[in-house]
Amino acid sequence: MLKVLNHPLITHKLTQMRKKETCTKDFRENLDEIAELMAYEVCRDLPVEPIEIETPMAKCTGYQLSKEVVIVPILRAGIGLLDGIRRLVPTAKVGFIGLYRDEETLEPHEYFAKFPKDLEHSVVMIVDPMLATGGSALAAIQMIKKRGAKNIKLVCLVGAPEGAEAVQKEYPDVDIYLAAMDEKLNDIGYIVPGLGDAGDRIFGTK
């Protein structure tokens, strides 16, 4: 499943992020707000279980989340989506995957991995603003699956058709959520029109 969240608020905030003159502070704040808006939609099908409760007026059946949610940002840029999602799912656990993309080969290289226990019975959200060639997402999904995860969602801000197709082909069971699907990749593997280098813009490193 590929879902592009065409929502006016998300599109407006993403447009602010895309502008080359947008400063680090505004870039980060808009990303944080979009993450929260996206989380609402990404969580739409989270499983719930009935629970008997008593209100001040009467006994009734309520519903509570029945599975752990684990958010896994791909370092560095994925960190920019973490807090916004956590505001909506404050009980979520957090894992980390460190990957960087070789600028020449565009291949992802792993440098860090740390996960909570029991990924097998959790809903795992891999989060990263950019889905370009899909190499990083594929590597992250492979790492998570190797640890037993069965219910995986990939949450990205901007996608390229090449990356989305690569993930759908290799892992049709992984649901992909995007704020926007862009036109293409350029010859150095950047998304066009995109927003440039997400990590550098979030952390002010260029």
Which positions lie near ligand URA, rule CB under 6 A? 130, 132, 190-191, 194, 197-199
List C-alpha distances in Å: 192 to 89, 129, 130, 161, 164: 32, 14, 11, 11, 14
Contact region with ligand PRP (CB under 6 A), list: 4-12, 25-33, 43-51, 135-143:
135-143
> What whole-number distance in Å separates Cα of residue 172 and Cα of residue 9?
29
- Count residues contacting ligand PRP (CB under 6 A)? 22
Contacting ligand PRP (CB under 6 A), which of 17, 39, 131, 143?
Answer: 131
Q: How far is CA 177 from CA 4, 14, 39, 53, in A?
A: 6, 15, 10, 34
Where do runs of H (alpha helix) occur along 93-205? Answer: 135-146, 161-170, 198-203
6: amino acid identity, one letter: N
| Binder among 134, 151, 154, 181 for ligand PRP (CB under 6 A) | 134
Please pick, from the candidates 130, 144, 149, 164, the single residue that binds ligand PRP as defined by CB under 6 A: 130
Q: Between residue 147 and residue 166, which ones bind ligand PRP under the rule CB under 6 A?
A: 163
Q: Kindly tell me which of 95 and 194 has the beta carbon lying closer to ligand URA.
A: 194
106 binds ligand PRP (CB under 6 A): yes
Residues noted as catalytic: 101, 105, 197, 200
